[in-house]
Every structure is written in structure tokens, then in C-alpha cells.
A and B are shown apart, each in its own frame.
Chain A
Amino acid sequence: MDAMERLAEHLSKRRPELRQIKKDGQKIIGYPPGGYLPEEMIYASGALPLCLARGGDPEPVAESLAYIPRFIDTFCRCQIGYRVMGEEVLYQLPDLIVVPVTDINMRGIADVWDYYTDVKTFRYGVPHNKRQDALDYYIGSLRLLKEKLESFTGITITEDKLKEEIKTQNRMRELFRNISQLRQPGKTPAISTQDFLKLHHASFYADRATLREILETLYEELKQKQVEETGKPKVLLTASTLAMGDYKIFNIMNEVGGEFIFEEAAEGMMPYEHEVSLDGDPILAMADTFFMKRVVPAWFRPTRERVDYLINKAKELKVDGLMWYQLLYRDGYDIQSYSFKKEFEEVTGLPFLKLESDYDTSERGQFKTRVETFVEIMKQRGN
């Protein structure tokens, strides 16, 4: 059995396992994706982190309309749908929801949990720039989170315990990084971007030790894998949210003969590009990794760092084009795409395609036509 099959088998049993864990008394802390919450802190408190990242289904979107108006980002809006429909076990498990408030859409998630459910939230704000006062605020937020987790679980988070968890998480990050680095500029990757993304999604609820073992094996398998160059156009993907289950664009890209070779997303991936230092105050070290070093999302101001990152990434990876995938009403992405497109095309000379989803089934046809044309353009330019 190869590593991916083992992972699938593990995940198929994971929901009942989590139910049992909760029944046995371990606290489960839910949180939305976004990369601003260090999971090591939750592990150090004796609780289990559970990233609530489901998306891509039209039904929860429709269901959410009874609770929140439709003008909030699709992913954020549909979160209440997953909870109230009751079909997704993961959304029934949290004892507490921690929401790093990055923008109003994310705050909306906290508001609906507070208003419509009996699960309480703990919120902390993520400032929108990387000045010293903003960093200080984020550091303060992490200290408050530590206090909250301690009072909620009754377990003191010691520095030693936290560092131990950071070390474990660093190994997880390293494994993700190692696997990611197997993707070579301009080459067909050893692991598809969709599978790589699924590993991230697995990390949101899989048993950590099991996942770590699987990632170790997978890395070894991938290193040995002989990859045949497909000659397909190579695409860099950037997204506001890549939710667990929202794989429409990957399937379409595959169908029309292109391939993603790298992805950047504000939400939906485990932050893996940087380790947390084990020197000094662990809170400061986590703030450095999770706030200062990560690529800023489009709602940051200034946001030049993100623009430069994507342009440099496109050059470095020798891609043939960039796809910008955003969810409806995520205004930061919609607004930034306007000036970004101009600059990206001017600087790189590469084509740019923007797709916007509301997790609606009817989008598929239109998406396919547009991606098909995009791939054709890249092919023609490649000849």
C-alpha cells in the first residue's frame, strides 16, 4: 500500500475516532484556516486542534442564507451551513472556536458561531501590516490565546512543553517543505498540486503521529519516483481560499491539459515554508514565523510584498501562466486582481486568468471554457 492510500484509509476512519476522543474528554479546538493560529499552542494545552476548512459544496451555501446575508465571502458564509446541516461530523466536534480575525469575512464566521450555536468563540485580531506595533499586537494576541487555552483546558502551557510541540510541528513543516521542494521549476511535479493540497487538508484533522509517518514514507516514495515530463503548460495558482473539498479547478485543469506546479493561498494550507525558532521566547518565535515571515494576503495594506512574491515565484518556477482563484465577495482579492493583472502581465509577459467561485455547480461549464482557452494561449505561446 503506498502512502497516499494509507492516508486515505486513515482519514476514512478519522471522524469516528475524533468523536471518541471527544467522548473520552479531550477538548477539541476548532479554528478556521488562514495560517495565523499556531497549532503547537493547542497541542501544548492538551487539546486537539481541528481546522474547519470544508468548502466547495453548494448545499451549505444555500443553507447559510437563512443565517447570514449572501454578501459575505462564500467560504466564510457556508461555514454555518456545514454546522447546521449536521452532515459534516467535524463541525459538530469543537468545544471552543478560536478565530484569528483577519478581515470582516473571517469575523463573520465567529459571529455566526456565537449567535447561532452554543459553542463559544475566542477571537484575536490580526493587524493588516507588518509594522512593529502590529507585530506587538499579534504577539499580545498569542499570549492571550495561551491564557485562554490554559483556562479552558486547565493545563498550564509551560515553555518546555511549547518548545517540544514546536519541534514536532517543525518536523511536520519540514516534511511539507521537503515534499514541496521536489517540485522543480518548469517541470512536471512528482506530486500533483491537488495531492499536495490534500495533504494539507489531511493535516487539519488527521492524527498527527500517523500523518507524520505517512509524510515520511511519501517523501521517500516521491524521491524515488521517475517523473515523466508531460509537456503540459505549467501554471502558478494563487487563491484566497483553497478549501477542503473545493477541487473543481484542479479537475478542470487536469481535463484540459494544463498542470499547476505551485500554489499560494491565504486560507486552506498549513503554513510550512518557515520553521519556528527554538531559541528564546517561543511566543516571539511563533509570531516571527506565523506573522512576519508568511506571505501577506490581499487584504494587507500595503500589499506589495504579496505582489512581488507572486511575480518572483512565477519567474523562479518558470511557469507559463498564473491562475487567480477567488471566492465571491472576497473584496480584497477582487480589488487587488485589477492592478496585479496589469503589473503581472507587463513584468512577466505571461497570461493571467481570474476565476471567481460561489461554489455553484453551474460554474463548471464556464470555468472549463475559460481554463481551456487559457491553456490554449499558453500552448501557443510555448510553441
Chain B
Amino acid sequence: MYSNLFKMCGYTDEEIEEQRPRIEKALERMGVFNEAAIEHAEKTVQANYDVEMVSVQKLLWVFMHSCIDGVLARDEHDYVINCNWPFPVQMTLAMIAAAREAGGKTWVGMPVQVLWMVGGTVFDILTPMLERGELIGQPVGKAHCSQYQIYTGAIDLGILPKPDLGIGSGWFCDQAAETEEMMSELYNFEIAYLDGVNDWAWNAWPNLDERAVKYSANTIKLALKRVKEITGIETTEDQLKAGFKYVAKWLYGMQNITRMIGAADPQPISQANVNLPYGLWAIATDYPDQAVDGLATMVREVKRKIDEGEGVVPKGAPRVYLALRTNVDTTPIRMVEELGLCLPTVFVDWLCPQELTKSTYTDMVDKIAEGLYRRPQLCDASAALMYWKTLCKDFNMDAAIISYAYNCRPWAVDPIMAKLDLQKELGIPAIVLETDGYDTRNYSAEQLRTRLESFAEVVKMNKEMKAAA
């Protein structure tokens, strides 16, 4: 019933056979162990990704394995530790390694993030989780974070297990930690909070206040200490270093892809496919070698397509920056491309020069904390504005679509400022769009198309006029 789907996701026949009991248990729990759901999933995954690309299959393999592991974590391990987005990947990778070395009694992962990637772009089953989440303290219409509605819903529906310890993300936004706090009250599990103070002076980025970095770093140390107290697992400096190395490798590969797509004309692959490596950049996995292999394969496939002159938009198409990846549904990305606009890079895929300056911190955890805030969108509005301006200049963008997750409080501050900045300082047209990274009910692709069609016409006309001048 599901062999074809799993093969699209990089599984071999032998693997499917070997994993069958686990696969079926997980599918059952996710409510998709039936022909209709599998058939729908086959269509969904093909709509979201170009599954004929080997790299896509390899990266989907990592997501599918990770998803099954997350769903079955309680069945297969004594302790379950959840790390919730946005979260330092290096820290999670280090804890995963420590848990493995300690004999595997403890499972550490980022199950919710994996679930929304798989549940959204493969099975299209997030709506019931979102609806359940809306009944649990995050009512509809109040701009609650849909990512955390999925989290709440998935646990309440029994798709994901209740953890022994959640490591909550409070260093960047409030909603994450507030939802975790509610969950700990309702479901009686403990939360260790990573905390942040968000008091960066305007335009201070990338020169981050050491005091604030150290404060956040200390909360990471306290969380690691709590993991040790509960499970006996001690995360070592070497494991943290290994986590760093993996992320560095990943950054290098992602930047390769970003640079290659950005420089190519025509755009060689749909940005929809880059959702996968982007996802694995921000989500720690238990399968780092397979993930890196998938990424390297994508680099090679992109290069080959460029060499062969393949393209998904017409050559010379206007170059547009799209400010948000809709992680659970790639249709908005494909729609922009279908409108004949080139997407050289989207969201925060690109690392700008200010992010790449060498850290002066020597302590690994301090480095982790600093690294989080080095990402401009995770720092503050002035940093994000700087990022957008630098990116649009560097990639020679003709226009920008400032699509933003309306229900992400930190990201709901600066879109209008960004539009003004890009128009005034760079003289490029920009449009602000409310959208959602995790809840497809909150935007309609057709509605977006109506707004973007006229914008695309303006952008194309501008480009032609510039060329004529």
C-alpha cells in the first residue's frame, strides 16, 4: 500500500520490509494507515517536491526516518527529551550523540519540526492537529503560532508522545515558552527554558552585547544540566564541537546551493526543493551522514542542471526576493515561479557577510548562543532590515515580496519598515504579504496569486523599462 510512497522518499524495498512494523505503527498513529491517505500523500509529496531528483529522495528519507523515530520515541526509549523550535541545532545534535553513546535509553530530538515537514509536505495531515491546538489555549483568530498549535495538537492527539522533559525556546520569542508553560501545567511534564532578553540596541547587530549572549548561554548550560539530572546523560564538549562541525558542513553546502541558484540564469531548480536542506539546517537529525549525502547530491544536481542550461523560469526573468518559506506547503513558492519570477534565494537561506565574522568566544556554549543571535531575523528588527537590504543588493534583486508569518510576534514588527527601506534606499518595488509558515488555512494560494499577478506585471515592466533605458 505504501511502498511506492516510501520509494519516492528514498526507501529501498529491503528497507521497507525491514522497517515494516515500525512504519505501520507510526502510520497508524498518524492516522494515515489507509489507502486513501497514502494515495493523497503520493500526490502531496509530488506537488511539493521534484521527487525525481535523487537529492530530494535522499533528504526525504532523512525526514521520514526522523518522523517515525519521533512518533515511536516513547515505545522505544525510557526517556523522551523534546527540543522545540527555534532551537540551537548544535546543542540537539550533541545531546543526540550523548544519548546514543549512553546506550540509547534516552531519545532526544526535534519531533514537532520533523512532524510538520512530513505531516505537511508529505501527508497533508496538519489541519486536525492545528484544530486541536486551537482548542487548547491557542484559539483561532488570535494570531497564535501555528507551529505551537501543531505541537499542542500532536501531543493531545497522541501522535507525538508526552516528553519527560521539554527544552523550550524562550530566547527568541515569547509564544513558544508561553505555550510550553501551559503544556507543562496541563500535561504535567517539566520544561527547561532557554531564555533571552532581546534588548539589543537598534543597529547594534552584528556586534552583540556580551552580557545578553552570556545570559542565554547560561540557560543552555542549565538545560544541559537538567538533562543530566533526569536521564544521567552528560553532553560533552567534544559532542558540542562535533555538533558545530556538522552545522558548519551544512552551512557550507547550503551556501553552495544558494550561491549557485542565485548566480544561475535561468533558475535551475524550484526553490520548493530547497525546503528540504533548509529544514535540515534548522532541525537536528539522528541521520547526519545521510543528510550530508543528500545535500551533497543536491549540490551536484544543481550544478548539472546549470551546466545543461535547464531552468524552471524563463531566462532573464526578474529577480525577486521572497521573505518567507512556507515550510509545510511549497505551493506559494511554486506560484511565484509560475508567474515568471526568478527566486535567486528565499527566506534566510543566505548567510550575509555580517553573520560570517569569526566568533571571539572560546566557550562552546557561548558560541552557540552567539550563533543564534547572529542570524539577523533571530536577533531584532534592525538586523533583519540590514539583512534584507544587503541581500537585495548582493543578489541584484528587482523586487521583494515581504511575506511574513503574521502569527510570529517577533516577525510581525518589521515588514512595513522593510518595505519602506527597500523602496526608499534601493528603489525596488516591495509588497507586504501576510502568510503563515505552518497553517495552509491561513492563506489561499489563489488569493496570493491575485495579488502577486499584478505585482509581477509591475516588476516585469520595471525590468523592461530599465533595460530599454
**A contact set with B: CB distance below 8 Å:** 66-69, 71-72, 101, 103-105, 107-108, 110-112, 114-115, 120-129, 131, 133-134, 137, 140-141, 298-299, 301-303, 328-329, 331-332, 334-339, 343, 356
Interface bracket on B = 35 or more
- Nearest-neighbor residue (CB-CB) of A337 within chain B: B137
> Which of A115, A331, A338 is B409 in contact with, Cβ under 8 Å?
A331
Closest chain A CB from B374 CB (angstroms)? 18
Interchain CB contact under 8 A, B202 and A104: no
Contact among A66, A101, A108, A133 with B413 in the assembled complex (CB-CB below 8 Å): A108
CB of B458 within 8 A of chain A?
no
Whether B409 and A104, one on each chain, are in contact in the complex, defined by CB atoms closer than 8 angstroms, is yes
Is B380 a contact partner of A68 (Cβ separation < 8 A)? no
Contact partner, B198, options A71, A101, A137, A338, Cβ 8 Å: A101
Contact B197–A137 (Cβ < 8 Å): yes
Query: Please, how many angstroms separate the alpha-carbon atoms of A346 and B407 in the complex?
Result: 32
Q: A127-B215, A137-B215 are in contact. Are A332 and B178 (CB under 8 A)?
A: yes
Interface positions, chain B 423-438, Cβ under 8 Å from A, are 432, 434
Partner of B406, one of A69, A338, A339, A343: A69
Q: Which of B149-184 contact A (CB under 8 A)?
A: 168, 170, 173-175, 177-182, 184
Q: Which 4 A-B pairs have the closest CB atoms?
A: A125-B197, A338-B137, A125-B199, A114-B202
B162 CB to nearest chain A CB (Å): 16
Q: Are B193 and A115 in contact (CB under 8 A)?
A: no
Flag whether B136 is at the interface (Cβ < 8 A).
yes
C-alpha spacing A141/B181, complex, angstroms: 26
Nearest chain-B residue to A66 (Cβ)? B416
B193 CB to nearest A CB, Å: 5
Known contacts A69-B416, A301-B180; A123 and B199 CB within 8 A of each other: yes
**Smallest Cβ-Cβ distance to A108: which chain B residue:** B413
> Could you tell me if A331 and B416 are in contact, using CB atoms closer than 8 angstroms?
no
| The stretch of B29-37, B94-102, B112-120, B138-146 that contacts the partner chain | B138-146
Which residues of chain B come closer than 8 Å to A332, judged between CB atoms? 174, 178
Name the distance in Å between A371's Cβ and chain B's nearest Cβ. Answer: 20
CB-nearest residue of chain B relative to A329? B143
Contact residue among A115, A140, A338 (Cβ-Cβ distance under 8 Å from B381): A115
Asked whether B201 is an interface residue with its Cβ less than 8 Å from the other chain, the reply is yes
Of the A-B pairs whose beta carbons lie under 8 Å apart in the complex, a sample of 14, sorted by A's number, is A69-B412, A114-B202, A115-B417, A121-B201, A124-B199, A125-B212, A133-B222, A134-B215, A331-B145, A334-B138, A335-B178, A337-B137, A339-B186, A343-B185
> In the complex the two chains form, is A107's CB within 8 Å of B380's CB?
yes
Known: A303-B181, A336-B182, A339-B137. A127 touches B197 (CB 8 A): yes
B212 close to A133 (CB less than 8 A): no
B408 — nearest CB in chain A belongs to which residue?
Answer: A71
Chain B positions within 8 Å of A334 at CB level = 137-139, 142, 144
Given contacts A329-B409, A335-B137, A335-B175, 16 further A-B contacts (CB under 8 A): A71-B406, A71-B409, A104-B174, A104-B198, A111-B382, A115-B382, A120-B202, A126-B197, A127-B215, A128-B193, A133-B215, A133-B218, A301-B181, A334-B137, A334-B139, A335-B144
Q: Which residues of A contact B11 (CB under 8 A)?
A: none
User: Bound complex: CA of A123 vs CA of B415, how far in Å?
Assistant: 21
| A129 and B193 contacting across the interface, CB-CB below 8 Å | yes
**B191 close to A (CB within 8 Å):** yes
The smallest beta-carbon distance between B63 and chain A, in angstroms, is 29
Q: How far is the CA of A274 from the CA of B381 in the complex (A)?
A: 36
When the two chains form their complex, are residues B185 and A335 in contact, meaning their CB atoms are under 8 A apart?
no
Contact with A along B318-360 (1 / 0, CB 8 A): 0000000000000000000000000000000000000000000
Contact between A111 and B142, CB atoms less than 8 A apart = no
Please name all residues of chain A whose beta carbon is closer than 8 Å to the beta carbon of B222 when the two chains form the complex: 131, 133
Given contacts A104-B198, A301-B181, contact A111 B174 (CB under 8 A): no
Whether B410 sits at the interface, judged by CB under 8 Å, is yes
Closest to A126 in B: B197
* CB neighbours of B219 from chain A (8 A): 133
Contacts of B200 in A (CB 8 A): 123
A65 to B215 alpha-carbon distance, docked (Å): 34
Q: Is B42 an interface residue (CB 8 A)?
A: no
Report the minimal beta-carbon distance from A283 to chain B, rounded to whole angstroms.
15
Q: From A339, which residue of chain B is reached at the shortest CB distance?
A: B185
Cα–Cα, bound, A101→B197 (Å): 7
B176 to chain A, nearest CB (A): 10
Residues of A within 8 A of B180 (CB): 301
Do A104 and B173 touch (CB < 8 A)? yes
Bound Cα distance A108, B415 (Å): 12
Nearest CB to that of B409 among chain A residues? A104
Knowing A69-B406, A107-B413, A334-B144 touch, does A137 contact B211 (C-beta < 8 A)?
yes
Decide: A111 near B380, CB < 8 A? Known: A125-B198, A329-B143, A331-B142.
Answer: yes
Which of B182, B184, B193, B414 contacts A111 (CB under 8 A)? B414
**Cβ-based interface call for B404 (8 A):** yes
